[in-house]
Amino acid sequence: MRAGLTQEDVAERIGMASEVYGRMERGQMLPRVENLRRLCLVLNVPPHELLGLDPDSFRGAFSWDEVKPRGDDTADVRRLLRRLRKLSTNQVKLLSLIAGAMMNKGKAGKGKK
Could you tell me the pLDDT band of residue 51, with boundaries at 50, 70 and 90?
A: confident
Give residues with Cβ within 8 angstroms of 78, minimum separation 6. Answer: 69
Judged against a pLDDT cut of 50, whether residue 106 lies above it is answered with yes
Give residues with Cβ within 8 angstroms of 29, minimum separation 6. Answer: 20, 23, 101
Alpha carbon distance 81, 68 (integer Å): 9
HSE value, Cβ hemisphere, 13 Å, CA-based, for 104: 9
Mean residue pLDDT of the chain comes to 80
Q: Are 23 and 29 in contact (CB under 8 A)?
A: yes
What residues does each domain of the chain span? 1-52, 53-113
**Residue 113 confidence (pLDDT):** 46
Q: Which of 97, 64, 60 shows the shortest CA–CA distance to 81? A: 64
Mean of pLDDT values over 43-53: 80
SS3 15: coil
* CATH class as words, domain 1-52: mainly alpha
